[in-house]
Amino acid sequence: MNINLKPISQQVIVITGASSGIGLTTARMAARRGARLVLAARSGEALHQLQEEIVQHGGHAIYVEADVGHEGDVERIAAAAEDEFGGFDTWVNNAGASIYGKLADVPIGDFRKLFETNFWGVVYGSLSALRQLRTRGGAIINLGSVASDSAIPLQGTYSATKHAVKGFTDALRMEVEADRLPISVTLIKPSAIDTPYSQHAKNYLGDEPANPSPLYTPEVVAQTILRCAERPCGEVIVGGVGKLMSLAGRYTPRLRDWIFERAVIPGQRSGVSARDDQHRALEHPTNALRERGDQDRLCLKSSLYTQASFHPVMSGLLILGGTVAITALMRGVGNARHGSYISNPDGSSDLPEHRV
């Protein structure tokens, strides 16, 4: 089945989680390119401001105040698109939240709430879009994460939801292809992105959470989303750092664990005392149009790997290079076992002197 996706300028695009971060950046970028938009989030006030902004610049957008964790709300989004535009061409399941804290410290109720948003929101949105697109064709784009491949300590609940999103999206893609439906099903897996993500996350750490450097700008993800809305693509990792994490998790899981335990866990602690939870997005909408976070971290404005991933030959060369780098690293660790180590305070030695 040939899948013919329209140019962005001719599309109606549904975006959930459109009031903040990646969703907000994608909405603005799509509007500038001429797309008509259906904006969805729990933050009705912020969505109204965004709609007015888009209309003032000559665009066309409507908004639906909705919680994607409720199936009825998701159906209202689809109905609004049908009433206003006669349907839609691309549905972007972007809405999401996170929790920072050791798994043993997170209440089960928060586990369930996060799954309602991050996983069930994707399920409801994907199945609603599938019903609408099975005859007219179009794209379903789901936002996973590098955590879909490689779990992140202190964000174990979030990682579990994104593993579930990957499993659901991969299965949906295969079923759609087997039924020869004219629908592109894409999973996009961003690396750490400079959005208010960590400020909005529920926090069970003693200090404010942070994302380890380097971060990527939300524009890098938005560009990838819109590219996949025009050209069928099964899966894209945004950011070469994320690809290295995925490769390490697949081929050298013990090395990945060693690095994460020593670098990623402390890298997620800001050292700043934790604030109260009144603006945490797990329970409450934020009602503020913010694309970026407030972390003072290295932020990359482009990703050579992501650009190359749309070109098979270039992508293959970069993956080969990453594999060689990981192999060399493993050899270095192996050689270090026969050489010198930096001793721990208790006299043991598990940390190689040769660091990457």
Classified as helix, coil or strand, 150 is coil
Query: If you average pLDDT over residues 116-130, what whole number do you get?
Result: 98
- At 274, the pLDDT band (50, 70, 90 cuts) reads confident
Q: Is residue 161 part of a domain?
A: yes
Q: Is residue 334 part of a domain?
A: no
Q: How far is CA 143 from CA 56, 69, 252, in A?
A: 29, 15, 25
**11 near 36, Cβ under 8 Å?**
yes
pLDDT at 346 exceeding the cut of 70? no
Six-digit token pair at 173? 């893609």
- Which letter does DSSP use for residue 9 in this model? G
From 100, 124, 158, 204, active-site residue: 158
Q: What is the pLDDT of residues 227-269, one digit of tens each?
A: 999 999 999 999 888 888 888 988 999 999 999 999 999 988 8
pLDDT for 343: 36
Range of the domain at 209: 8-271+284-300
User: Is it true that the peptide bond before 214 is cis, omega within 30 degrees of 0?
Assistant: yes
Task: Give CA–CA dist 187/193, Å, rounded.
Answer: 16
Q: Is residue 352 part of a domain?
A: no
305 is a catalytic site residue: no
pLDDT at 119 exceeding the cut of 80? yes
Task: Give CA–CA dist 12/25, Å, rounded.
Answer: 16
Angle between helices 218-230 and 21-32 (to 10 degrees): 50
Task: Give the count of domains, the chain.
Answer: 1
pLDDT for 309: 78
Query: If you average pLDDT over residues 335-347, what whole number do you get?
Result: 39
pLDDT at 326 exceeding the cut of 60? no
Q: Is residue 3 part of a domain?
A: no
pLDDT for 277: 60
pLDDT at 102 exceeding the cut of 70? yes
Q: What is the pLDDT of residues 278-320, one digit of tens each?
A: 456 787 887 789 998 877 666 777 777 777 777 765 555 555 5
pLDDT for 314: 53
pLDDT for 271: 75
pLDDT at 167 exceeding the cut of 70? yes
Q: Is residue 331 part of a domain?
A: no
pLDDT for 288: 80
Q: Is residue 322 part of a domain?
A: no
Range list of H helices, the chain: 21-32, 44-56, 71-85, 108-115, 121-136, 156-178, 197-200, 218-230, 240-251, 253-259, 265-267, 304-309, 312-336
DSSP assignments along 49-71, one per residue: HHHHHHHHTT-EEEEEE--TTSH
What CATH number is given to the structural domain containing 16? 3.40.50.720
Q: Is residue 230 part of a domain?
A: yes
What is the average pLDDT score of the chain?
86
pLDDT at 183 exceeding the cut of 50? yes
Q: What is the pLDDT of residues 2-31, one digit of tens each?
A: 899 999 999 999 999 999 999 999 999 999
pLDDT at 332 exceeding the cut of 90? no
Q: What is the pLDDT of residues 57-87, one digit of tens each?
A: 999 999 999 999 999 999 999 999 999 999 9
Which among 95, 53, 96, 56 is positioned nearest to 77, based on CA atoms? 95
Q: Is residue 137 part of a domain?
A: yes
Task: Give CA–CA dist 9/238, Å, rounded.
Answer: 23
State phi, psi for 169 to the nearest 5 degrees. -65, -40
pTM of the predicted model as reported, rounded to 2 decimal places: 0.85
